[in-house]
Amino acid sequence: MTAGDVTDRRAVQAVPVIVLGLGGVGRALVRQIVAARPAHARRFGLALHVVALADSGATAVASPLAGARHAVPLHDPLLLAFVDAKAAGRGLVDVADDRAAVIPSPLVGARHAVPSSGTHGDAPAWHHIPTPHAIVVDCTAADATTPHLRAALERGWDIVLANKLPLAGPLDDFAFLTGNGVDAGEGVVPRRRGRARWEATVGAGVPLIATLSRLVAADDAVARIEGTFSGTLNFVAAELRAGRPLSEIVREAMARGFTEPDPRTDLGGHDMARKALILARMLGWEILLDDVTVHGLYPPEWDDPSHPDHVADVDAFLERLPELDAPAAERVAAAKAADGVYRLVAMIADGRAAVTPTVVPADSPLGRLAGTDNLVAFHSRWYDTAPLVLQGRGAGVEATASGVLADVVDLAMRRGGTAAPVERA
Ligand SMILES: NC(=O)c1ccc[n+]([C@@H]2O[C@H](COP(=O)([O-])OP(=O)(O)OC[C@H]3O[C@@H](n4cnc5c(N)ncnc54)[C@H](OP(=O)(O)O)[C@@H]3O)[C@@H](O)[C@H]2O)c1
C-alpha cells in the first residue's frame, strides 16, 4: 500500500457521470474513465459511474428509465462498445444492444423543452435519470447545450465543459454557468446549486483556468494576459518560419486533424477569440465576442457575405488560399530579418481583448514555442517582474480529455459521492 491509497473497498463512493458528445474528446474521456478506474478507487476511493451517453441524435442509458429509482451505470464493456461504434462513424441511435436503452432525443432545437424544477417534459432522456447528484460533461461542439447545462445546475448537479460555445454567448449564461467572473451587479449573481469546471475550453489539458481562478480567488490584480491558445496556429507559425507556403501548411494541418472541420475557425482567429473572451470574462469584464478585436491570417472580406470577395465555403477557401502564400512569406521573412517570429497572439489587457498577428522576439517564450504547444503568460500584482507562464500541448483529444477528467474528479471529490445508492446493472 502506498501513501494516499484507499484500500478499504467499502469506502468507494460512486458518482454518476453523464457524457454529452462522443466525438474525439468524448470518446477519449470514456476510455480514460475506464482505464483510470483502479487508480481512482485506490487513490481517492472514487468510482465514476457513466450513467448516460448522448450524441446529437440519442441518449443511451443502462435500462428503461420509466419507474427507475436509482441511476444505473453502463458497464465498461458496453461503454467501450458504444465508443467503438461511434469511432466507426455510427450514431448511438443505430447501435442496438439489449443491455441498454437507446432513446432518440436530440438536444438541437430543444431550447423550449428544458425542464423547470421538478418536471422534465420533453427534455433529453438523461434529464430523467433519478439521482440527486450527477456530473454532466459537455463534450459537444454545440451551443444548444446551454439551457440543459443551466437546468442541470439548478437541479444541483455539477457540470464540466470542454465545449466553449456556452461560455462565449450571452453574459448571463456565462455568469450562471461559471458562477463567477462577471461583475453582474446587484441581484444578478446567479442562483444555482451545482458547481462548474471548464478547464478544457481554453487550454485543453494545460491548467490555465485553474491558475487564473486561483489568481482571482486571491484577489491578485491581473493586469495583462497574453499568449497563444491555438495549437493549429502555432503549427502554422512554425511551418511558415521553416519556409513552407501557407496553403500547403493548412492542407497538411487539416489532413493531420489539427484544425476544426472548417479551418477558417482557426485561421480567422475566431476560436482563439472565444478563448480570450472566456479569460477576460473570468477577470470580471462584461464583454461580448463582438467586442474582441480579431485579425486573422486571411482578409476579413472573405468572411463578409455582402462583400464581392466573400468566400462561401471550405472548398472555396482552400482554392483561394494560395493567393496568400506570397504575402504571408513576405511577412514571415520581414519578421525573421528583425529576429522575430510572426504568429497570432491574444492580448487581454485594459478591459479589452484582441487577437492579432504579431511579431514576437525570437528569443522570447512566445518566439521559442514549437509544434502545437500553447503558451500563456499572466502578468499580475504579485507576478510583476516576471509573469506566471504556463506552456504545453494545446490540442489533441487525449490531452483535452485528461483536462476534462481532472475536472470531473475534482468535482466528484468535493461532493464525496452520492447520497442515494447507484445500482449496478
Ligand atoms: N479536439 C480538441 O483538441 C479540443 C481541444 C479543446 C477543446 N475541444 C472542444 O471539445 C469539444 C469536443 O471536441 P471534439 O473534437 O470531440 O468534437 P467533435 O469530434 O466534433 O464531436 C462533437 C460531438 O458532439 C456531438 N453533438 C453535437 N451536437 C450535439 C447536441 N446538440 N447534443 C448532443 N451531442 C451533440 C456530436 O454528435 P454526433 O456524433 O451525433 O455528430 C459529436 O459526437 C468541442 O467543443 C471542442 O471545441 C476540443
DSSP string, 270-281: HHHHHHHHHHHH
Could you tell me if the CB of 146 is within 6 A of ligand 1? Answer: no
**Rounded distance from Cα 53 to ligand 1 centre (Å):** 13
**pLDDT of res. 33:** 98
- Which residue in 113, 143, 139 sits closest to 125, CA to CA? 113
> Which residue has the CA at smallest separation from atom 18 of ligand 1?
23
Q: How far apart are CA 335 and CA 341, in angstroms?
A: 6
Cell readout for 221 is: 490584480
For residue 204, give the ligand 1 atom closest to its CA. Answer: 6
Q: How far apart are CA 271 and CA 165, in angstroms?
A: 10
- Told to judge if 86 belongs to the known catalytic residues of this protein, a careful annotator would answer no
**pLDDT of res. 71:** 84
Could you tell me if the CB of 23 is within 6 A of ligand 1? Answer: yes
Q: How far apart are CA 248 and CA 101, in angstroms?
A: 46
**pLDDT of res. 420:** 41
C-beta of residue 418 within 8 angstroms of C-beta of residue 72: no
179 in the Ramachandran plot: left (φ > 0), alpha (ψ -120 to 50) or beta? left
Per-residue pLDDT of the chain (425 residues), as tens digits, is: 444 454 454 568 999 999 999 999 999 999 999 999 999 999 999 999 999 999 988 899 887 666 777 888 999 999 999 999 999 999 988 887 777 788 886 554 333 334 433 334 456 788 888 899 999 999 999 888 999 999 999 999 999 999 999 999 999 899 999 986 444 455 555 567 789 999 999 988 899 999 999 999 999 999 999 999 888 898 899 899 999 999 999 999 888 877 887 899 999 999 999 999 999 999 999 999 999 999 999 999 999 999 999 999 999 999 999 999 999 999 999 999 999 999 999 999 999 999 999 999 999 889 988 888 899 999 999 999 999 999 998 878 999 999 999 999 999 998 764 434 444 44
**Rounded distance from Cα 37 to ligand 1 centre (Å):** 24
Q: How far apart are CA 28 and CA 79, in angstroms?
A: 12
Strand order in the sheet with 46-54: 101-104, 58-61, 46-54, 13-20, 135-138, 158-161, 196-197
- Ligand 1 pocket mutation pick from 27, 400, 402 by most atoms within 8 angstroms of CB: 400
**pLDDT of res. 236:** 92
**pLDDT of res. 10:** 52
**pLDDT of res. 121:** 46
**pLDDT of res. 88:** 96
Domains of the chain: residue spans and CATH:
9-204+399-415 (3.40.50.720), 213-395 (3.30.360.10)
**pLDDT of res. 118:** 37
Cell numbers 477558417 correspond to: 264
Cell readout for 281 is: 470574462
Residue 363, judged by CB atoms within 10 A of its CB (0-12, 13-18, 19+), counts as exposed
> Which residue has the CA at smallest separation from atom 21 of ligand 1?
23
Could you tell me if the CB of 85 is within 6 A of ligand 1? Answer: no
**pLDDT of res. 11:** 67
**pLDDT of res. 95:** 82
Is the pTM higher than 0.75? The answer reads yes
Residue 245 neighbours by CB under 8 Å, 6+ apart = 322, 325, 328, 329
Cell readout for 159 is: 457540470
